[in-house]
Structure 1
Amino acid sequence: MANSVTQEYMQIPAVTRAYTTACVLTTAAVQMEFITPFQLYFNPDLILKKYQVWRLITNFLFFGPLGFSFLFNMIFLYRYCRMLEEGSFRGRTADMVYMFLFGGILMTLFGLYANLFFLGQAFTIMLVYVWSRRNPYVRMNFFGLLNFQAPFLPWVLMGFSLLLGNSIVIDLLGIVVGHIYYFLEDVFPNQPGGRKLLATPGIFRVLFDMPQEDPNYAPLPEDQSGISWNGQGVEDAGQGQNDEDLQGEDN
């Protein structure tokens, strides 16, 4: 049982696994009173004057105490971060880490002026926004009540936050940063006279991207059990398609 759980955990893509684990562990540490939210929140004065630089990261890791809001955010964070990593960022871990860094820096700069303390929810909305714009024809279903195309998902989530009585500033920040990244990465380079402005630094590729396989290497078509290597690829493709269907219970 333990080996099975460990194996499933290690099959989660690296960036998704690292970020969601950090969020869960941070919340667990607060819940068990090892640390307090006052040690985690974004505070420019403490960062600059007391050199508490960890706040630049920890404010993205805490989503509040255990409860509906925390579970809701974790489900969306895990789901859409993983679908991005297994979809448009497949084999491009360095590019995804660079997106994380770009989004985090922009949100931090906005946070200086908007007096925001925790930016994890905005970061989740950014991931949802980028995924939704890269999968515009996917049909979504929200709690079995509302059907819409994927690009409307961030706005539906913002409306849901509004219904719960939450401020929509965080959601708007995630949408704005997500759109800036999407425009610079996917739209502007394809315009007449456009060019790619978000070039991932080479050091990121050295640190995060796996070495490419030898193109001359040709594995056997079948193992001794008679299972085709291509069959696994078909199964994975089917799993990827299933991930694009948002079910009510996921939300």
Structure 2
Amino acid sequence: MAYQTFQQEYLQIPVVTRTYTTACVLTTAAVQLELITPFQLYFNPDLILKHYQVWRLVTNFLFFGPVGFNFLFNMIFLYRYCRMLEEGSFRGRTADFVFMFLFGGLLMTIFGMFVSLVFLGQAFTIMLVYVWSRRNPNVRMNFFGLLNFQAPFLPWVLMGFSLLLGNSIIVDLLGIAVGHVYFFLEDVFPNQPGGGRWLRTPSFLKMLFDTAEEDPNYNPLPEERPGGFPWGEGQRLGG
């Protein structure tokens, strides 16, 4: 009975969020069980180009370190904001969401080559948080019951928290930078005088992921909280 309930809840998670978070959890489990090692997963341009270990382009986004507070913290924020984006502004636009993943991953991979980062999953999480926060500027956030602020400040609060934990802020800054590039090209520049859409989802992605015609009258619902997590809790102003 419990298994069936879990299965129903699991299958209700949107497909992109479900796939990515599951891949992250399974990768970490495989490392914990010593089926694989982080040395087989990390980003290394030489091994990718010279030894054709192309899987590293993906696996470096799937490992967040050993099971512990840092891993759980990242998983909660990854699941939470990935799902809110997929059920909110990307609802009915799975192909566009996948394209954001590919665009963000490509930019991070390019930048990662210059700042010598070997795992980019945390930066990817911050990118998702940044895009959600900029698309929901009127949401009031409460962080651990200590801080109250508007949603656009959330990525910076997370960076400060990461700094308190003794982590490098380079990863967070990379996520914020890539998130801003996507947000600017997708949400800001097309609405500027003389602006236009530079980011267009390839037709093959639409064929793969968008099975139904998009409703031109669809108006995304406010991106409310999908889970019961108290970290970074949000409430829309006037709500």
Q: Same fold (TM over 0.5)?
A: yes
1:181 equivalent in structure 2: 182
Distance change in 2, residues 1:206/1:46 (3 Å): same
Residues 111-161 of structure 1 show CA distances to partners (whole Å, capped at 9, x for unaligned) of: 111111000000000000000000000000011110000000000000001
Match of 1:247 among 206, 216, 230: 230
2:24 equivalent in structure 1: 23
User: How far is 1:4 from its partner?
Assistant: 1.2
Native 8 Å contact 2:89 2:223 kept in 1 = no
Rounded Cα–Cα distance in structure 2 between residues aligned with 1:165 and 1:208: 40
Native 8 Å contact 1:141 1:246 kept in 2 = no
The percentage of aligned residue pairs carrying the same residue is: 76
1:232 equivalent in structure 2: none
1:153 equivalent in structure 2: 154
Which structure 2 segments of 5+ residues have no match?
Answer: 234-239
User: How far is 1:243 from its partner?
Assistant: 4.0
Rounded Cα–Cα distance in structure 2 between residues aligned with 1:173 and 1:89: 23
1:141 equivalent in structure 2: 142
Q: Secondary structure at the match of 1:141?
A: strand
Native 8 Å contact 1:139 1:245 kept in 2 = no
TM-score of the superposition, structure 2-length normalised? 0.91
Which structure 1 segments of 5+ residues have no match?
Answer: 216-236
Residues 194-240 of structure 1 show CA distances to partners (whole Å, capped at 9, x for unaligned) of: 0000010111000011223899xxxxxxxxxxxxxxxxxxxxx9995
2:10 equivalent in structure 1: 9
1:223 equivalent in structure 2: none
2:51 equivalent in structure 1: 50
User: How far is 1:241 from its partner?
Assistant: 3.4
2:206 equivalent in structure 1: 205
Tell me the amino acid that sits aligned with residue 6 of structure 1: Q
User: How far is 1:23 from its partner?
Assistant: 0.1
User: How far is 1:102 from its partner?
Assistant: 0.2
Rounded Cα–Cα distance in structure 1 between residues aligned with 2:152 and 2:93: 23
Distance change in 2, residues 1:23/1:149 (3 Å): same
Native 8 Å contact 2:80 2:225 kept in 1 = no
- Structure with more relative contact order (C-alpha pairs < 8 Å, separation 6 or more): 2
Residues 83-123 of structure 1 show CA distances to partners (whole Å, capped at 9, x for unaligned) of: 00000000000000000000000000001111110000000
Rounded Cα–Cα distance in structure 1 between residues aligned with 2:127 and 2:187: 15
Tell me the amino acid that sits aligned with residue 110 of structure 1: F
Rounded Cα–Cα distance in structure 2 between residues aligned with 1:246 and 1:239: 18
Native 8 Å contact 1:140 1:246 kept in 2 = no
User: How far is 1:3 from its partner?
Assistant: 1.3
Superposition RMSD in Å:
2.1
Distance change in 2, residues 1:16/1:214 (3 Å): closer
* 2:43 is the counterpart of 1:60: no
Q: Rg larger in 1 or in 2?
A: 1
